[in-house]
Amino acid sequence: MSKLSNLALAGLGAVAMLAFSGAGFADQGVVTANPANGKKIFENGIGDKVPACATCHGDKAMGNDDMGTPRLANIGFVYIVKQLHNFKEDKRKDMTMFQMNDIAKNLTDQDMRDLASYEDTFPLDNPEVSDLKQLKANGTVVGESYKGKILVTYGSDKVSACKSCHSYDGRGADPIFPKIGHQKYVYLVNQLTHWRDGTRANDPKKMMEKIAQKLSDDDIHNAATYLSQAADSTAGDGYQFNNETVLDNIKIVK
How far are the Cα atoms of 29, 32, 221, 250 from residue 17, in angstroms, in the given order? 16, 20, 33, 15
Minimum distance from residue 125 beta carbon to ligand HEC (Å): 19
137-176: contacts with ligand HEC (CB under 6 A): 151, 159-160, 162, 164-166, 176
Give me the count of residues in the chain. 254
Site string for ligand HEC, 99-138 (x = CB under 6 A): xx--x-----------x-----------------------
Give whichever of 31 and 95 is closer to ligand HEC, judged by the CB atom.
95
Cβ contact 198:208 at 8 Å: no
- Is 191 among the residues that bind ligand HEC (CB under 6 A)? yes
Contacts of 156 (CB under 8 A, 6+ apart): 150, 219
Cβ contact 110:35 at 8 Å: no
Stretch of 133-141, 189-197, 229-237, 246-254 contacting ligand HEC, by CB under 6 A: 189-197
Contacts of 71 (CB under 8 A, 6+ apart): 57, 61, 62, 63, 179, 182, 183, 184, 187
Handedness of CA 18, 21, 24, 25 (dihedral sign): positive
Give whichever of 37 and 235 is closer to ligand HEC, judged by the CB atom.
37
**Burial annotation 116-131 (CB, 10 A radius, 16+ → b, else e):** bbbbbeeebeeeebbe
With CB under 6 A as the rule, give the number of residues binding ligand HEC: 46
Give whichever of 136 and 206 is closer to ligand HEC, judged by the CB atom.
206
- Is 189 among the residues that bind ligand HEC (CB under 6 A)? no
65-104: contacts with ligand HEC (CB under 6 A): 67-70, 72, 75, 80, 82-84, 94-97, 99-100, 103
Residue whose C-alpha is closest to residue 117's, from 72, 176, 155, 151:
72
Stretch of 20-28, 138-146, 202-210, 229-237 contacting ligand HEC, by CB under 6 A: 202-210
Distance CA 160, CA 205 (A): 16
Given the rule CB under 6 A, which residues bind ligand HEC?
A: 41, 50-51, 53, 55-57, 67-70, 72, 75, 80, 82-84, 94-97, 99-100, 103, 115, 151, 159-160, 162, 164-166, 176-178, 180, 188, 190-192, 202-203, 207-208, 211, 223
